[in-house]
Chain A
Amino acid sequence: MSHDHDHTDPPADIELRVKALESVLAEKGLIDTGALDELIDIYENKIGPRNGARVVAKAWTDPDYKQRLLSDATAAIKELGFSGVQGEDMVVVENTPDVHNMIVCTLCSCYPWPTLGLPPAWFKSAPYRSRVVIDPRGVLKEFGISLSDEKEVRVWDSSAELRYLVLPERPAGTDGWHEDRLVDLVTRDSMIGVGFPKSSADLHQQAGA
């Protein structure tokens, strides 16, 4: 006898359930399959952490923009054109030599779509959501990061509408860099708070060879 229900895998009929639902809704004229394909393409290929990286790089090079970003993130991000669903109410939290910020949604998967795209699977998973609020330093170690004991760690739990974005510290050795070049240093993980931006050396290594 084989196992009829292996609960660690998606149920075998899930594909069929999705097709059935889509087909019933399409028959009733309640959804437009072509429009759905377009939506998928936008969220899979067009919106991603590159948007957030632009926000961060601008804040690193333009002190007035950074002020606006920290006082009214929603409006400041909108200036760059990255607003919309799941980015209606934004707060940007700034990393400093004394403070490291991390974001989570312990209740579900709230994430700033317009600036970071759709969240990675681990962000939505029970291990990250359960543990980051009680053991942030332990979680950071899993991402290969060890913070000094003196550094304060702040974990921001997204609520129903509010979405957070971390403004990481600008890497050393990038004085005088143009905004466009700085964008390449900003990683998705650095804007969630489970990573740091790349260093200028990382970038040379990538470009080198």
Chain B
Amino acid sequence: MNGIHDLGGMHGHGPINPPPVEPVFKHDWERRIFALFIGAFGGGHYNVDEFRHAIERMDPAHYLLGSYYEHWLHAIETLLLEKGVVTREELDRTMATLKGGH
């Protein structure tokens, strides 16, 4: 599959700018997504190939603009929704409740 993820050899992505030191996770939500990935994987809800494929199926513009762990969240949501483990309605309702709580 030669989707947008297949970046090898592409021009125009700019400098790398590696920082001398950086944290493992930049934001707390990145930590949670990382753990959710392993948690749901460990629960047998998808395998690594399905997970990669869910990222590779992303809208190309969204892929390039999205941050790394955002790709992961997108993939976990996509797979769990497709497999009926969670529903859109459950996620939306919970988000609304969490929002209301603030």
Specify which chain B residues have a CB less than 8 angstroms from the CB of A24 in the assembled complex: 86, 90-91, 94
Among A36, A117, A130, A133, contact of B24 (Cβ-Cβ < 8 Å): A117
CA distance A143 to B94 in the complex (A): 45
Question: Could you tell me the dominant secondary structure of chain A's interface residues?
Answer: helix
Chain B, interface residues (CB within 8 Å), range: 35 or more
List B residues 24-51 near A (Cβ within 8 Å).
24-29, 31-36, 38-40, 43, 45, 48-49
Contacts A17-B95, A21-B76 given; indicate if A130 touches B10 (C-beta within 8 A). Answer: yes
Specify which chain B residues have a CB less than 8 angstroms from the CB of A18 in the assembled complex: 29, 32-33, 36, 73
CA distance A7 to B56 in the complex (A): 19
**A/B pair count, beta carbons within 8 Å:** 155
Question: B24 touching A127 by the CB < 8 A rule?
Answer: no
Question: B26 touching A106 by the CB < 8 A rule?
Answer: no
Binding site for A on B (CB under 8 A): 5-11, 13-19, 22, 24-29, 31-36, 38-40, 43, 45, 48-49, 52, 55-56, 64-65, 67-68, 70, 73, 76-77, 80, 85-86, 90-91, 94-95, 98-99
Binding site for B on A (CB under 8 A): 7-8, 10-11, 13-25, 28, 30-32, 35-37, 39-40, 43-44, 85, 104, 106-109, 117-118, 120-122, 124-131, 133-134, 139, 142-143, 157, 160, 194
